[in-house]
Every structure is written in C-alpha cells, then in structure tokens.
Structure 1
Amino acid sequence: MIFLLLLGVPAALGHLYLWRRLVVDTTLPRTLGRRIGGMAVVGAFAMLMSALVVTRRVPPEYGKFFAWPGFVWLAVLFYLAIALGIAEIPRRILLKRATLVPAAAGSVGIEPVEVVPDPSRRLFISRSVAIGSGIAAGSVVGYGMTQALGAPQLLTVPVTLDKLQTSLSGFRIAVVSDIHLGPLLGRSHTERIVRMINEQEADLVAIVGDLVDGTVAELGEAAAPLRDLVSKQGSFFVTGNHEYFSGHEPWLRELDKLGVNPLRNEGLTVAGGIELVGVNDVTGRAYDDGPDFDRAFTGRDRNNPVVLLSHQPVQVGEASSRGVDLQLSGHTHGGQMVPFNFVVPLQQPGVAGLSKVDDTWLYVSRGAGFWGPPVRVGAPPDITMIELRTAG
C-alpha cells in the first residue's frame, strides 16, 4: 500500500498534467477529440497501475503482458512530463503574444484598433508543443530501451590494495549486480551474462544482490544458467533488498544448489591471501536477517586485504570503520534514467564507478538489468572486471 501511494500519487498527478497539456490545451470544449483524449489518459493511468499491481500477483509468463506496456508507458510519462515542463516557459510566452491580435479597423476616420482573441493560434501553439514533446520523449525512451535491453558493457577497473601479496597482483573479480530476473528479463538474460563472464576467465565471481523479482517457483528456470558460471575461486552472492521481497530463504537454498555460494554475514580466505566477506542487505533487518559485521569479520586475517560484498553502497561507512580495503556494491543502477543519477547521492555515497571513502575503495556497479521501465538513459548496464594490483 505504501509503495502504491509513493508511486501512484505522483503518477496520478503526472497524468493530470498530461491531460491538461495534451488534451485540454489541444482540443476545443465538448468535442469528440477531447472526450477520446480524456479516456486515453485514464486508460494509460490504469495500464500503469496494472503493471505495478498485477505483475506482483501473477506468474512472470502472464505478468509480462501487463509489465511491458505499463512500464514502457511509465518511462514515456516521465520524459514527456519533463519535455512539457521545459517547454512551459516558451509556450507561455508564445501564448501571451497569440492571445490578442489586431482586428479590422473602421473604414471611416481614424478609430482605435480593436483586439480580439485568436483561438486558432493558441491551438496551433499548444499542438506544436505537444507534438514536439512527444517526439522528444519517444526518442529518449526508444534510445533508453536499446541500452537497457542490449548487452551490458564490459568494464575493467584496476584497484590498488596496499596489503595485496605480489603473487596475487592481477587477481580478477567479475562483479555483477541487479540482474533483476522477472516478468521482463528471463533465462536468455542470465545466459548472456554467464557467457560474458565466462569469456573473461575471472578468478572469482561476485553477484552483489537483486538477482530476482519473483519466487523460486516462478524464476528458478530463469536463474538456472548460473550453474554454468566458471571461475578459479568460485562464485559468491549476497542478498539485495529485492531478495527479501521475493523470498530470500528459498532463493539462498536455490543458489547454493546452483553452485553460487551465499555469504550471509560470513567470510573466507580465497587464493591464499584475500579475505572475502559478505554481509546481508540492510533490508534484511525487517526480516530478522540484517547485516552483522561482527559475525562477518570473525576469524578474518587482517594482514590480508579485505574485500567486502555489500549490496548497498551506504554500508561503506561501517566497512571503512572496520578497515575494509575494497567494497563491491550495486543497488543504484547508476540512476538508471537521467536525472535520477542526481537524486541517488541523497541516499547513497556512490552512484557508479570507483571512489574512496576514508581508506576504503568503493566500487558501485550500474547493474546488468533494470527495475520497472526497460529503459536506461545515461546509465548503461555493466559487468565489471575488478583487477587487483599491488602498490608500487
């Protein structure tokens, strides 16, 4: 209910704004066009709310019929509202000039020029703005869909760790997050990710949360290709917030069967000189399964560099206080759609890429999937090869 209010109320206001600009301003009162336009806006709102509600209550094979049109429309709505908002000032200036035009002066003597409203010019300006905004929004969303549905970018990011043994310089960790299997992304999505990772011959694979948006019964087959992941030191997983919405315990058991090792507030030594630690997502606190750094760091050799897997970057504060050398995270999607990349820093210390918090390196993946609209603008999906290097 809270989720629907948080998204449903802004969506309703957005549709009301679109109704004013795309229907009322571009049609004459009591005409068929205005009635059809009004019904179209109401139908679009219903389609969006169906995507938010129905997809949570039916299997993905049926939910996709609601998810595709509803979530694509959500992206169009968002960018259409932005385009219309940007056009608001020039629109008002042009409308002010078009409201009054000279009328014919009298033929005898010199008389004051009468001015009268010109509704045809007002309609022309409003329709031109509506068409231009629609083309702009459609173009942005179309581009964003090619980014979201295309292959993730393959990035290589070198990270220098002071405590890394010389023999381990060049150790490569494949980092992938936010795969988001669900009604819009299925088995073929997983197969492509697995193929791309395996081609890199990584030393270790780290999946840092938000693998799924659905239960094991619904998405187990979509996740099955993860059993084909190949790396020298194994594949590891930590929970994201969406695992808790999808039934985290069954998923952790399923991943274990697939050979992807869950790290639940625990760690181990890999390659004879790297402490790999994983903590649960902060959302787990509401499910009696929250992060426990004390437990996770028990028994770790502090002479070795510590690499922490944590879904949300926000946990880097705790990580830094415990001497973590590198934290690998996701969750932000890099903002997914501009301008959300400017909003993420209000909640998280990193949006995407490599940064440093005190003495801890923080790497945030933009993720390999998407949530909601199948659209990415300014934040293409990625799979990252972290290459550890010794200092000097």
Structure 2
Amino acid sequence: MIIVLGLLALTVVTGLYWYLWRRLVRDTTTGPGWARRAGTALFVLGPILMFATLFAEVGHAPFLLQRTLAWPGFLWMALSLYLLLAVVAGEALRPLVTRLSKRLPFQSPALERPFRGAGLYSMCGYRRVGATSHDEAQPSPPTEAPLKQLTRTQSETRTTTPPLPSRRLFVSRVVGGAAATAATATVGLGTYGVLRGPRVKRVTVPLAKLPRAAHGYRIAVVSDIHLGPILGKGFAQHVVDTINATRPDLIAVVGDLVDGSVKNLGPAAAPLAQLSARHGAYFVTGNHEYFSGAAQWVEEVRRLGLHPLENARTELAHFDLAGVNDLAGESTGQGPDFERALADRDPARACVLLAHQPVQIHEAVRHHVDLQLSGHTHGGQLWPGNLIAAAANPTVAGLDRYGDTQLYVSRGAGAWGPPTRVWAPSDITVIELAAKQA
C-alpha cells in the first residue's frame, strides 16, 4: 500500500513539474537552443535536490551534507509552490493578454512568404508600364539582374531585422515571465522576513483568577525556532537578544527548538544560556524534539539554564505554571500526561499551561486551565498553508477562547523546511496578564 501511494505521489509530482516545464520553458522558447536546455536542466536538477534534501534530513545524513543541500533544496521547494500558483493564475490572464496584443505586429504565415506585391511581378517576368487607372502589367523579357538584386535585398533584410515572434510565443513569454517574476519575488521577500528575525507582538490576556498583584505580569512566548542546517547560532542569538530586550517576567519556550541532534546543534543552541527573566525560562517539548532525541535535548536545555516541564507544574507567586510533553512522545511512552501535570492543584489559583500543539486545548479545558500557550502551526508558514493548518488545528494563530479556557497560538520564530514565510510573519509574543479586578 505504501509503495502504491508513493508511486501515485511521484506521478502527481512529475505531472506538475512537466506542466511547469511546458509553460515556462517549452512554450517560451523557439527550439532546442541554450535557453531551453538551461530551463530543462533547472526543472530536472531542482526536484532532485529537493528530494535529496528531505531524505538527508529524515535519514539523519551527515550534518555537513544536510547543510550543503538545505539552501538550494528547500528554496526550490518554496519556489516550486509559488511557480505553480503563479502559472495557474496566469492561465486566467492568458486570454486577456492575447486580446490586448492584437494591435501589435506579429509573424504570420503570409509574412513568411519570400515574395509579395511588386516582387511577384518581377519574378514572373512582368513590369509596370504607364500610369493608368488600372495600372496594367505588361510582359517583358526576364533578366537576371532584378532577381540578383532582390535576393541580395532579402538577405540584407534578414540579417539586419530580427524576425517578429508569433503571437502565441509572445503571450507565453509575457505570462510565463510575469509568473516567474512574481514567484521569485514572493520567495525572496519571504526568505528575507525569516532571516531578519521575528518581530515582537504584545497581547493582553485577562484572567479571572489572577490576583491584583500580578496585573501586568509579562510572559515572553517563543516557539518553533527550528535551529538546524539553515538557521544556526547567529539566528539563535538574535532570538535571545529580542526576547531579553522585552524585559519579561518569565520566558516560555513552547517546543520545536531544533531539527537535529545535540551533537550537531548543541553549539547553535548555546545562546539560550543568555535568556534572562525575573522568574526564569521554561521549556516544553515539541514534535520535532522527538525526531531529534528529546531526552538529550531536555538535558541540554537544563544545562543551559532553562527549566523543562515534563508533565509537571510549578507554583509561582501568583499563578500555577504547568507544562506537558508533545503528542509525538506517545510513540515512546513520553506523551502528554495532564493528570500528572495538573492534578491536586488549588482550583482557586490561575493556571497557565505550556503545550506545543493547539489541539491539546481540549484536555486543557477538561482540566480547567485558564490559559494555554502553544505554537506548532507556524501560522501556515507558506500561504495557502494556513488553510491546511486550519483543518488540522482549532486555532492557527492568535488568541481564542474555548469555554473558560483561553488559547494563544504563536506563529513561531523560525521556519521548518524552506526558510521562507508568506503571509505568516514570525513572532515573539509578550503576553501581558491582566487581573479583572484591577
């Protein structure tokens, strides 16, 4: 069954790339010249690099190989998506471009004939005589001079004047060029947004059980940093500096910190030791930690000064802070345990829960949590990925309410796969708790 599904997926992907090649390469070139060869090579090597990158990450290939493949492979993945969307959109514009181009000169079968008009008279041995109203043609003895002169004139014209394109070629180049430009610009801007680093968002969340003394308490929430073959130590340092600049009372790192082992990414995560908050920094696992050695990473973040909450709770001065493992840990017996994290607590105290995936909100409601802080969705990361994320998660981004429990979902600080975000900007959120009786 898996083989059948794999072959079906390969067939679909191959068909889509053939469609892109046809529209962007074959239809915009006039023959097997260098442009068509270069375009064909791009549409062959690009997918090979993309799949090689995915297999290298999933198969835990040597980290140097992952880093070598990551940039071209993942960027091609993003570019392919937006080339496809742009070309499909171009199909709707193609009739309009064709209509607007009707006033422009184009090559036609009639214009490709070698002799027309007066040239035809000379070829057939006729000459014009008199300036009569009917301009009659009279026969004359053929000579070689006019034919030689005509041949020379045509040769010079063909040498100095480039041939006009056909209307179909012109329209294909306009639509294809616009699609390629739009896709490249979209990926370029989206990649710049990720490498620039996350922006700070500020959200006020009122909690009915929060005492007046805790009014204005600030929690810096960061998720989905995704340190890996592309985003490394410099990116981690930027995230840490951005968080520290908000001067939070508490820092919550809610999963998907890394895409790789402690051995490969320990140095990249080192700046986390500089996180500074009055009541410390706390960490819960995300699904990607379980692909990268969750137990080793829990020990590593503890060594860096963070406090892992593995299905655990700590009582702070004015509210309880709890954390549960990610759902991905269930396969190894390390999944979320809400009873262990939330049982036997004082129900009169406010409770803030750190849980990587928004779908864990239903258990949070059942355990009377006041606020759940999550990530995981990336806000969709690459539009229209938000539509897929919305189908799999109760909330994709922002603040929402489920019964008496509020849920805040961060879009995350980094990116998985392509280091690109489109209409889903990265963020670090400062949650300011508000006491209703303040």
- TM-score, normalisation: structure 2: 0.81
Equivalent in the alignment of 2:384: 339
Distance in 2, Cα, partners of 1:28 & 1:389 = 67
- Counterpart code for 1:348: N
How far off its partner does 1:7 sit?
7.9
* Contact 1:145/1:375 (8 A) holds in 2: yes
Post-superposition offset of 1:276: 0.8
Partner of 2:88: 85
Write the distance in 2 (CA, Å) between the matches of 1:62 and 1:141.
24
Structure with bigger gyration radius: 2
* 1:380 maps to 2:425: yes
1:37 corresponds to 2:83: no
In the TM superposition, 1:281-296 aligns within 5 A as 281-296=326-341
Contact 1:268-1:300 within 8 A present in 2 as well: no
* Alpha-carbon distance in 1 for matches of 2:253, 2:11: 34
Amino acid at match of 1:265: N
CA distance in 1, matches of 2:272, 2:409: 22
**Counterpart in the other structure of 1:308:** 353
CA distance in 1, matches of 2:193, 2:6: 27
Distance verdict in 2 for CA 1:282–1:180, change over 3 Å: same
Question: 1:4, 1:180 → 2: CA distance?
Answer: 27
RMSD: 2.6
Residue 195 of structure 1 aligns to a residue whose secondary structure is: helix
Shift of 1:261: 1.2
| Matches for 1:236-315 after TM superposition, within 5 Å | 236-270=282-316, 272-315=317-360
- In the superposition, relative to structure 1, how do residues 178 and 7 fare at CA in structure 2: closer, same or farther (>3 Å)? farther
Alpha-carbon shift at residue 138 of structure 1 (Å): 1.0
Cα distance, 1:257–1:74 mapped onto 2, change above 3 Å:
same
Instruction: List runs of 5+ in structure 2 lacking aligned partners.
Output: 118-163
Which one of 159, 162, 170 corresponds to residue 124 of structure 1?
Answer: 170
The 5 A counterparts of 1:163-182 are: 163-182=209-228
Where does residue 158 of structure 1 map in the other structure?
A: 204
Letter aligned with residue 18 of structure 2: L
The CA deviation at 1:287 is 2.0
Q: Retained in 1: the 8 A contact 2:221–2:428?
A: yes
| Structure 1 runs, 4 residues or longer, greater than 3 Å off | 1-14, 28-36, 55-62, 92-104
Q: Aligned partners of 2:198, 2:227: CA distance in 1, in Å? A: 15
Contact 2:281 2:307 in 1 (8 A): yes
Distance 1:249 1:10, change over 3 A: farther
CA distance in 2, matches of 1:103, 1:237: 75
Q: Is the 8 A contact 1:280 1:310 kept in 2?
A: yes
Go from structure 1 to structure 2 and tell me whether the alpha carbon gap of 1:210 and 1:4 turns closer, same or farther (over 3 Å shift): farther
C-alpha displacement at 1:101, in angstroms? 7.3
Is 2:56–2:65's contact at 8 Å kept on the other side of the alignment?
Answer: no
Are residues 1:53 and 2:55 paired?
Answer: yes
CA offsets 1:190-224 (integer angstroms, 9 cap, x no match): 11111121222211110000000000000011111
For residue 318 of structure 1, report the CA deviation from its aligned partner.
1.3
List gaps (5 residues or longer) in structure 1.
Answer: 108-117
Q: Deviations over 1:344-388 (max 9, x none)?
A: 110001111111112111100010100111111111111111111
TM-score normalised according to structure 1 size: 0.90
Provide the residue aligned with 2:271 in structure 1: 225
Distance, in Å, in 1 between the alignment partners of 2:312 and 2:411 is 25
Q: Secondary structure at the match of 1:388?
A: strand
The verdict on how the C-alpha distance between 1:100 and 1:188 changes in structure 2, with shifts beyond 3 A counting, is closer
The CA deviation at 1:119 is 7.9
Q: Which amino acid aligns with 1:74?
A: M
Instruction: Provide the residue aligned with 1:19 in structure 2.
Output: 21
Give the share of equivalent positions with the same residue, in percent: 47
- Match in the other structure for 1:68: 71
Tell me the amino acid that sits aligned with residue 235 of structure 1.
A
1:314 and 1:207 map into 2 onto residues whose CA distance is: 18
Alignment check: 8 A CA contact 2:227 2:269 kept: yes
What CA distance in whole angstroms lies between the structure 2 residues aligned with 1:150 and 1:84? 29
